[in-house]
Amino acid sequence: MRQLNENTPDKQPMLLYFAVAFIAMSGLSYINFLPGLINVLVNGLGYTESQAGQIAALNGYGALFGTALAIFSVKYIHWKPSIISAMSVLLIFELTTPAMISFDTMLVLRFAAGFAGGLAVGVSFSVLAKMHNTNRAFGFLLFIQFIIGALVMYALPLLEATFGSYAVFYVMAAIAIMSIFMAINIPSGRFPTYTQSQQSHTKIGSLSLSMTIMLGIFIFLTAASALYAYVGLIGMRANLNETQVSTYIAFTGLLGLLGAIIPMIQVPLIKRRPLTIISISLCLVAVLILLQPTISITAYIVALALFFFAWPTVQSFLFAAIADISLSGRLSTISSLVSSIAMASGPMLAAFLIKPSDYSLMLTVCASLFALCAVILYMPLKTAPPAKRQSTPTLATQAK
């Protein structure tokens, strides 16, 4: 990985963007194939639908505390050993999970795994925020998330047939190993520890702006993760079997790659506010399709396609907007905490809203949250600062 040694922001190679984004994805990799995890917990390991949602939620709440620790320590710790240590602990937990036989023990272990993963994610987000093109950095993150999600969802039935119902945890262990390898191969001085010269003098107006955008992130990801957690079981309500559901989610999930590419394109027509609002609206339309009393296979596929295409566009632009408000990367670490809370709260909210084979109340709440998100973000995105590549050319000299 010799080419990662370039220290000038405007010469940051694509491989560096890919490596840092992959590391940021790895801490909470299960989110990318959450329907597969939920399906395995219910159909493979015998947990109830509500218990499966609680397991996913506790993993997310563990990540919440891990990311909170990153917020207070990211200014003082070196990113590389922190990420390698956290991912190594996560690897041990993933490999230990198949030995857990009780529901309560599973909850405790997944909470601990979430803590380690959340710490790694929080530190990684501060690194992503320091990259020259934040739209591209977070676009890469979502691009990798969706391609990993599609590949795992497609391969999971075969992996389960070969390695058993715990195959999904072996997949997460393999992702952790690759993340550790990538972190080791990025030069230690490539992203220096926070210094006073990197402070962003955030004004009260900017703080209010960032808080509003973070509220939008929370609302959007709560609704998106709630829908994503049970979209597989919703498909089975449409008389699809588990293999069909995994296949449809995998292939429609590939549209998320297109949605993630949009923020990465450096074209004047690519503007955050209109594309973000349109994408949130597409998510709303997807939920309304799934709310129909009778869902055809075609309608189910269309809903998945709209949802998976729009999700990464929204998330990439919102994370990039936060990163451009603060150059230190600390606000981005806070936004990763907000996203962890949301990704944990979504499945938990859905678990309490669903009834056996009845997802109408949960879907109605998701639709309301998407609509509220669009309203909240409309004005803040108009006043948010532009991407760093347009607004802060002096970064190149700061990083030298």
Q: What is the pLDDT along the chain (400 residues), one digit of tens a residue?
A: 444 444 444 456 788 889 999 999 998 888 888 878 888 888 888 888 878 888 888 888 888 899 888 888 877 778 889 999 999 999 999 999 888 778 889 899 999 999 999 999 988 888 888 787 777 888 888 889 888 887 888 888 888 888 888 899 999 999 999 999 999 988 766 665 544 444 444 444 577 888 899 999 999 999 999 998 888 888 887 777 777 888 888 888 788 888 888 877 766 666 778 889 999 999 999 999 999 888 888 899 999 999 999 998 898 889 888 887 766 667 888 888 888 788 778 888 888 888 777 888 999 999 999 999 999 998 877 766 655 544 443 333 333 3
What one-character-per-residue DSSP string does 3-42 give?
GGG---GGG--HHHHHHHHHHHHHTTGGGGGHHHHHHIII
Nearest-angstrom CA–CA distance, 377 and 380: 5
Distances (CA, A) of 47 to 44, 79, 101, 104, 132: 8, 37, 11, 12, 45
The torsion of the CA quartet 149, 54, 315, 339, rounded to 10 degrees, works out to -130
**What domains does the chain contain, in order, with CATH numbers?**
14-188+201-388 (1.20.1250.20)
Q: What is the pTM of this model?
A: 0.74
CB 351 within 8 A of CB 41: no
CB 310 within 8 A of CB 282: yes
Distances (CA, A) of 381 to 48, 142, 308, 375, 385: 41, 20, 22, 11, 8
CB atoms within 10 A of CB 10: 12
